[in-house]
Amino acid sequence: QVRLVESGGGLVQTGGSLRLSCAASGRTFSTNYMGWFRQAPGKEREFVASIAWNAITTVYADFVKGQFTISRDNAKNTVYLQMNSLKPEDTAVYYCAAGPTTRTVRESAYGYWGQGTQVTVSS
């Protein structure tokens, strides 16, 4: 059974930082993109960032460029999201996803999803 398990969410003040982790088990994603999406209350889920199997090619949503950094460790089958300078509007459930073999921001291209981790940024 394939599982993606996120951790690292929590409550942080404006301007603070968090590092999310997503550990995959059940299969390796060393030839796939892995990514992060988020869903704020009352809003649709949106793409945040993704990273290719080479751990070099990355894609970011415009609203997080320069603020968030995605990385991965294929030996650990884990993807990370370093979030800095957090703002209240970053409050959301953050989901890890995996699957695509090409660069994409489409949710439907990601066949594997974690259960989500809550990030709350207080003002």
Q: What is the pLDDT of residue 113?
A: 97
pLDDT for 17 equals 98
Give the per-residue pLDDT at 30.
85
Residue 73: its pLDDT value, please?
Answer: 95
- Identity of the residue numbered 87: K
Could you tell me the sign of the dihedral formed by the alpha carbons of 73, 37, 29, 7, in that order?
positive
Q: Quote the pLDDT of residue 65.
A: 83
Measure the CA–CA gap between 60 and 36, rounded to whole angstroms. 10
Given the structure tokens 């990385």, which residue do they identify? 71
pLDDT along the chain (123 residues), means of 10: 96 98 93 96 97 94 94 95 97 96 93 97 96
For residue 79, the model assigns a pLDDT of: 97
Rounded to a whole number of angstroms, the CA Rg of the chain reads 13
CA angle in degrees (0–180, nearest 5) for 56-66-88: 125
